[in-house]
């Protein structure tokens, strides 16, 4: 026979005969040997000289990798990136990592075992194995034992294989023709696969739509949403006045917002700025001044702010002689109470911030009216 063959199948009547034939055929070294039997036969792996499956090693490596991955992730999250003490345990408590390490180990190991077996060792996707189209397949799956000599690297010498098998006592011999390149990734196959995926998407989408329409939707995990609670800005029957939010008790004083103890601006002149003139206080004053005052009074407190041009307002020029002579307390009073068109800033600036602004205004005034001594002091430092 000169035609190219995928394999030559020899059929044997019993497992014993098959096992006895294997060494004789194997000694001829014609090609890869494979046995097809109705049930597993002990010792077949050794007889065929199959090498030990590398799957165990792969699973071990991936399992260890899984454990280390889980350990690394959890340690990085809970001890390095965002260390938070939960349950009174120090960040990076290894005990808490173990269950997840265990699960990820199992996950990596089983996926490696399953996919490695199917894709790497069983050579999937492999459609239509030639033995499945052989005439002998019915008998192989029932009561016959087949030994096949298959083309290994080079072409198979079908005549020699036939001879070797019949010499080894095969009852029947069948030559399986070479099917050529495997029918994989043909346009027909690709189209059918894509069509199948598309059909599956359509069907599952329609099913989901129907299920959601026909059956009541069960919201998951609603316990937290359903608990009785007061919603801000919403009516609620819990309180008598029907409001979800309640006003503070009359006379409530917020921290840092002590009421002013004086009745008029004249009286306020006696107030003394309680803050020291430190860098931090000036920094706070500058920050607060820039946020609340600059738009009208201008960066130099000279009354030229950006709002002046836009609206024609006439804010006070704090560099004027009148304000240079103002005591601290009177400036403070204006911040709290407002003056003319200026509104009160009491709600926006805390007591500390207001006094810091007073200091800063004084600094701005001094800067615009600097004396020679100021330079000297600077020079000496």
Partner 1 sequence: MNATTRPTPILLWAALALGAAGVVGAYLGAGPERFWANWILWFIFLFTVGLGSLFIVALEHLINAKWSVPIRRIPERLATLLLPVIPIGLIALGALPVLYPGTRPEALQNPILAGKAFWLGLPFFSARAVVCFALCLLGLGVLVRGSMRQDSSKDPAFNVRARKFAPGWMFIFAAVITLVAFDWISGLTPEWYSDIFGIYLFAGSFLAGLGATSLAILHLKARSRLEGVQNDHLYNLGGFMFAFTVFWSYIGFAQYMLMWYANLPDEVLYYKVRLEGPWHLVTIALAFFHFVLPFFVLVTRDAKGDSGRLRKVAFLMLGAHLLDLYWLIFPALGATPYFGWPEVSFAMFFLSLGLLWVRGAMEKGEDMPVGDPFLQEGLEFRL
Residue 9 phi, psi (nearest 5): -100, 130
User: According to the binding rule CB under 8 A, does residue 54 interact with partner 1?
Assistant: no
Does 39 interact with partner 1 (rule: CB under 8 A)?
Answer: no
The region of 94-102, 125-133, 209-217, 303-311 touching partner 1 under the rule CB under 8 A is: 94-102
Could you say which of 60, 61, 203, 208 contacts partner 1 (CB under 8 A)? 60
Strand ranges (E), the chain: 5-12, 32-36, 145-150, 172-177
Determine, following the binding rule CB under 8 A, whether residue 235 of this chain makes contact with partner 1: no
Q: Write the DSSP assignment of 279-328 as a string of letters.
A: HHHHHHHHHHHHHHTHHHH-TTSSS--HHHHHH------TTSHHHHS--H
- In angstroms, what is the minimal distance from the CB of 53 to partner 1? 9
Q: Does 43 bind partner 1 (CB under 8 A)?
A: yes
Q: Which two tokens stand for residue 83?
A: 């260390």
CB of 87 to partner 1, least distance (A): 7
When binding is defined by CB under 8 A, the residue of 3, 81, 95, 143 that contacts partner 1 is 95
Minimum Å distance from CB 54 to partner 1?
A: 12
Cα–Cα distances in Å, from 231 out to 235, 236, 240, 242, 243? 8, 8, 15, 12, 9
In this structure, what are the phi and psi dihedrals at residue 266, rounded to the nearest 5 degrees? -65, -45
Shortest distance, CB of residue 154 to partner 1, whole angstroms? Answer: 33
Q: Which of 2, 42, 222, 248 binds partner 1 (CB under 8 A)?
A: 42
Residue 54 or 183: which CB sits closer to partner 1? 54
List the one residue out of 268, 297, 266 whose CA is nearest residue 355.
268
Query: Min. distance of Cβ 16 from partner 1 in angstroms?
Result: 14
Cα–Cα distance, 22 to 49 (Å, whole number):
10
Footprint on this chain of partner 1 (rule: CB under 8 A): 42-43, 52, 56, 60, 87-89, 95-96, 98-99
């Amino acid at each position: 026979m000169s035609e190219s063959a995928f394999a030559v199948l020899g059929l044997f009547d019993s497992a014993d005969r098959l096992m006895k034939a294997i060494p004789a055929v194997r000694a001829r070294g014609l090609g890869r040997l494979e046995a097809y039997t109705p049930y597993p036969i002990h010792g077949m792996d050794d007889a065929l000289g199959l090498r030990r499956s590398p799957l165990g090693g792969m699973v071990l490596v991936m399992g260890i990798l899984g454990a280390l991955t889980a350990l690394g992730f959890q340690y990085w999250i809970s001890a390095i990136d965002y260390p938070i003490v939960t349950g009174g345990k120090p960040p990076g408590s290894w005990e808490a990592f173990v269950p997840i390490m265990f699960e990820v180990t199992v996950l990596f190991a089983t996926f490696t075992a399953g996919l490695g077996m199917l894709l790497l060792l069983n050579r999937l996707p492999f459609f239509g194995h030639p033995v499945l189209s052989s005439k002998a397949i019915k008998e192989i799956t029932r009561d016959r034992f087949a030994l096949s000599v298959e083309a290994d690297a080079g072409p198979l010498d079908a005549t020699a294989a036939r001879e070797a098998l019949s010499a080894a006592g095969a009852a029947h011999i069948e030559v399986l023709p070479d099917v050529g390149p495997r029918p994989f990734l043909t346009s027909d196959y690709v189209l059918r696969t894509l069509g199948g995926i598309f059909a599956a998407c359509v069907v599952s989408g329609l099913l989901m739509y129907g299920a959601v329409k026909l059956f009541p939707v069960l919201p998951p995990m609603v316990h937290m949403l359903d608990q009785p609670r007061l919603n801000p800005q919403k009516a609620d029957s819990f309180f008598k006045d029907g409001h979800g939010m309640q006003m503070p008790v009359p006379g409530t004083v917020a921290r840092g917002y002590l009421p002013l103890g004086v009745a008029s601006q004249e009286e306020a002149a006696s107030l003394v700025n309680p803050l020291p003139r430190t860098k931090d206080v000036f920094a706070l004053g500058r920050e607060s001044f820039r946020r609340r005052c600059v738009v009208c009074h201008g960066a130099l407190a000279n009354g030229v702010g950006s709002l002046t041009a836009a609206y024609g307002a006439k804010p006070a020029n704090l560099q004027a002689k009148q304000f240079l002579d103002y005591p601290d307390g009177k400036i403070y009073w204006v911040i709290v109470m407002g003056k003319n068109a200026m509104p009160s800033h009491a709600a926006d600036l805390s007591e500390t911030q207001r006094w810091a602004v007073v200091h800063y205004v004084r600094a701005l005034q001094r800067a615009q009216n600097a004396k020679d001594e100021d330079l000297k002091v600077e020079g000496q430092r």
